[in-house]
Amino acid sequence: MHKQVVAAQDLRSFSKLLLEVMFPVFAFSNFRVYSIDMLGKWYMACVGSALVMILGALLGRMGSLLLRLRSPYSKILVLSTTFGNCGALPYVLIPPIVTNWKRVNANPDDALVEGFAVISLFAIVWTMSLFFIGRPYALSMKPASTETSGDAAASTASTTSSKFNILQKLRLVDSVVWCALVGIVVGCIAPLRDFLSERAGGPLRFVGSFSYNFGRAAVPLSTMILGASLYAGARAEFQKRRDARNARPEADKPPPILDEQEGSDSGQLLRLALGASFIKLLVMPAISIPLLLLAVRSGVLPSDQPMLFMVLMLQTGVPSAQTALALLVAAGLHKQAGQMSLVYLPMYIASVITLAIVIVMAVTLSDEFDVIAA
């Protein structure tokens, strides 16, 4: 008999703990390595974040036209290609990379903290873009309202309430961003940084030690939540379709025109899944990596920051962000969320191979282009 250890409600609770507590603490803990000098070298993480999203949006839009996807499939494709998994997966991948990468494993602790700090900078731009651009775009998938003029007052009240809800969600979603910004400010003020850091033996060094050790627990927890959510979403969608087919009596089957529509939807979903994986895992790295190498050779990207180079390489090949799926759920678009989960599952499976290739390329190219540790 199958015994369920983690239920859906538990998963939601873990997600809330991760987003509202652990990731913010983790983002703040990077203050130990921030400084004005280092931010001058790492600004490319913010620039790279914006460029990766712009490229993803353009490729997603072009892909939807070439694949002749209807709405909402076309918008799901754009969301999938624009917003990559810039946090959870890189956080998980950086530790084993540091352990096995000869250029940085002489000082693994420093390399780890630098890698995590660069990811946080990348995520600041990503999170703001997701909330201020991605969320309204996701909401545009909602069907047009059919309310009458008699419902105008209720609609106005609902809109006002919705604005207050958005402000409340902004405070929750942006907690990671605010903590990262506080960490940057603390890191750039050397006396304050040393006062809180165990590295400098400051009076409140337990703050830096606790925030780092507690925050790092977010990495395995986010991995568990990511895998469980993808599995649960896809499983629920498959089960829903199976139950709908089994529960429909022969006499109650829809006319052929509806069957054709269902077949058309299945074809759209198949093209969406293939297109999203192809663009996100193959096309984006094929375009981004040469541009990244050009930036190294031209001096735009510092050649003495191997972890910055590695993180940017990873960001070119990560699969789509699970948070984009959560946006659809929060907007009440459960059907579209189920469709997106079916897209994500094969993409994440394929990314096991494609991300490994990207990592090998990053290590190899760093040797060839003299990306050396400071």
Query: All domains of the chain, ordered by start, with CATH?
Result: 8-141+165-368 (1.20.1530)
Per-residue pLDDT averaged across 235-248, rounded? 70
Residue 69 pLDDT > 50: yes
Residue 155 pLDDT > 50: no
Task: Compute the distance between CA of residue 54 and CA of residue 33 in angstroms, rounded to an integer.
Answer: 29
Helix count and strand count (H, E) for the chain = 17, 0
Residues 15 and 225 sit within 8 Å (Cβ to Cβ): yes
Task: Compute the distance between CA of residue 343 and CA of residue 140 in angstroms, rounded to an integer.
Answer: 20
Q: What confidence tens digit (pLDDT) does each residue in 264-276 have?
A: 677 888 899 999 9
One-letter amino acid identity for 52?
V
Q: What is the pLDDT of residue 147?
A: 42
Look over the chain and give the mean of its residue pLDDT values, rounded to a whole number.
Answer: 78
Is the Cα torsion angle 303, 306, 311, 313 positive or negative in sign?
positive
> Is 371 in a helix, a strand, or coil?
coil
- Report residue 201's pLDDT band, with 50, 70 and 90 as the boundaries: confident
Token reading at 69: 């996807």
Task: Compute the distance between CA of residue 330 and CA of residue 255 in angstroms, rounded to an integer.
Answer: 34
Q: What pTM value is reported for the model?
A: 0.73
Print burial letters for 104-134: b (CB count within 10 Å at least 16), e (below 16): beeeeebbbbbbbbbbbbbbbbbbbbbbeeb
Kindly compute the dihedral angle of the four CA atoms of residues 263, 268, 270, 276, in this order, to the nearest 10 degrees: -170
Q: What confidence tens digit (pLDDT) does each residue in 318-332 have?
A: 999 877 776 676 666
Helices (H), 280-368: 284-298, 306-317, 322-330, 334-368
For the ranges 1-5, 112-116, 121-125, the lowest mean pLDDT is seen at: 1-5
Per-residue pLDDT averaged across 282-289, rounded? 95
Return the CA Rg of the chain. Answer: 23
Q: Which residue has the tokens 């405070």?
A: 171
Q: Which comes out higher in pLDDT, residue 294 or 87?
A: 294
User: CB neighbours (10 Å) of residue 64?
Assistant: 23
Q: Which comes out higher in pLDDT, residue 100 or 219?
A: 100
For the ranges 85-94, 123-132, 352-361, the lowest mean pLDDT is seen at: 123-132
